[in-house]
């Protein structure tokens, strides 16, 4: 038996490559078995809403379904009741540069970070940033800050899935990762003429 296994390994043919392709239910069962709840990171993290499920469908997402779900995501955006979209860019910068929050080891009593820098270039002077998302350098300077532009940016940061249904960007408002005030602060980082983003 041992020899048989060894020869399989040596020939590079793992026994499990002989099995059928795993389906969505197998993947879910494997995830359930691999993770354990710890602190604020509960098993409910594995529950997908309709748009996430559509985007992880191994058969591929149907355009009609995902676009319908994206329309629903945009319709669910909550805009600030007082019409004030911009807060303090200095606080916004701290939020953008902080990646803590929501992990099992983080203090749930502390405000979450936005981790924007992990995917976006923000200030042109920055030397360390991720490139999963587009550079946001000059964001407000290049686009102006009309009400329509502010609403569009708010709604993208609130829930990018309204625009790119299978986006990897965290859904900061829809998933209550950031509070309304924190959203205002990161908006100011994007739009305030004094913000390092617009220099």
Residues that bind ligand HEC (CB under 6 A): 96, 114-116, 118-120, 132-134, 136, 153, 156-157, 160, 164, 167-170, 172, 186
Q: Which 8-state DSSP code applies to residue 21?
A: P
Query: Minimum CB separation from ligand HEC for residue 168, in Å?
Result: 5
Query: Minimum CB separation from ligand HEC for residue 94, in Å?
Result: 11
Please enumerate in sequence order all residues whose Cβ is within 8 A of that of 114, keeping only pairs 6 or more positions apart, or say none: 95, 96, 98, 170, 172, 177, 178, 182, 186
DSSP secondary structure of 33-56: HH---BTTB-GGGG---HHHHHHT
Query: Minimum CB separation from ligand HEC for residue 79, in Å?
Result: 15
Query: Minimum CB separation from ligand HEC for residue 134, in Å?
Result: 5
| Best CA proximity match to 173, nearest among 189, 149, 193, 155 | 155
Query: Minimum CB separation from ligand HEC for residue 28, in Å?
Result: 23
Measured torsion, CA atoms of residues 55, 95, 90, 173, in degrees rounded to the nearest 10: 50
- Nearer to ligand HEC (CB atom), residue 32 or residue 168: 168
- Nearer to ligand HEC (CB atom), residue 107 or residue 168: 168
Residue 148 backbone zone (phi > 0: left; psi -120 to 50: alpha; other: beta): alpha
C-alpha count within 13 angstroms, C-beta hemisphere, residue 30: 6
- Nearer to ligand HEC (CB atom), residue 8 or residue 88: 88
- Nearer to ligand HEC (CB atom), residue 36 or residue 103: 103
- Nearer to ligand HEC (CB atom), residue 53 or residue 166: 166
């Amino acid at each position: 038996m041992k020899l048989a296994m060894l020869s399989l390994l040596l020939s590079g043919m793992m026994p499990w490559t002989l099995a059928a392709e795993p389906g969505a239910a197998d993947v879910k069962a494997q995830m359930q078995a691999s993770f354990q709840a710890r602190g604020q990171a509960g098993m409910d993290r594995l529950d997908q809403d309709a748009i996430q499920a559509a985007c992880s469908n191994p058969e591929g997402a149907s355009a009609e379904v995902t676009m319908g779900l994206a329309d629903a995501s945009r319709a669910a955006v909550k805009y600030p009741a007082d019409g004030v979209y911009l807060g303090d860019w200095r606080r916004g910068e701290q939020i953008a540069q902080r990646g803590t929050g929501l992990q099992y080891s983080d203090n749930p009593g502390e405000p979450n970070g936005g981790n924007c820098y992990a995917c976006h270039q923000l200030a042109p002077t920055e030397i360390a940033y991720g490139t999963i998302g587009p550079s946001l350098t000059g964001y407000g300077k290049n686009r102006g800050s009309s009400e329509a532009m502010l609403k569009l940016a708010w709604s993208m940061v609130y829930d990018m899935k309204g625009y790119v249904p299978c986006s990897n960007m965290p859904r900061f408002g829809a998933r209550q990762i950031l509070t309304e005030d924190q959203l205002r602060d990161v908006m100011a980082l994007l739009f305030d003429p004094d913000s390092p983003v617009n220099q």
